[in-house]
Structure 1
Amino acid sequence: MPSIVGPLKINSVGGGTVNFGDAFYIAPKSSAKTNSGSGSLNTGDFINTNNLVSSTNPFDSDLYDQIISRNA
C-alpha cells in the first residue's frame, strides 16, 4: 500500500534501519570486529579492575569472519 511521507528530519541512525512505505524484505548488511584488552569494555559506576598481565592478539588466521558480498 502506498504511503505519503511529509517533511522529515533524521539527525542520525546508529545501528538501525529506517524504512518508509512498503517493504517485502529488509536485510541491512554490516560487519564489525572489536579487539579490546582485559577489563576495557566494563561500564558502570565505581569499577575496579586488577589486571597484572593482559595481552590482546588482534591477528586472525582466517580471512573472513562474515562475508558480505551480495545484496540478497
Structure 2
Amino acid sequence: MPAILGSLKVINISSGGVLSIGDVGLISPKTTAKTYAGSGSFNTGDFPQTYNVISSTNTNDNDVLDENIIAAI
C-alpha cells in the first residue's frame, strides 16, 4: 500500500542505519550496538522538555548474544 507523507525531517543516519520511505519487503541493518542511557536521554523533537528527579540505569546483561545479524542478499 502506498505511503502518503507530509513533511519529513531526517537529522542523521549513521553508517549502519537504514532509512526507508514507502513499501519495504525487508529491512536489514548491517551493524548492531547496545546503548545504555538514563531517563529522558533519547527524546527527539525541536524543543524537548524533561523533568527527571531521579534516574537510574540498569546495565546488567546476562545473555551472551543479543542480536545475531544474518546477511540477506
> Which is greater in Rg?
1
Question: TM-score scaled by structure 1?
Answer: 0.49
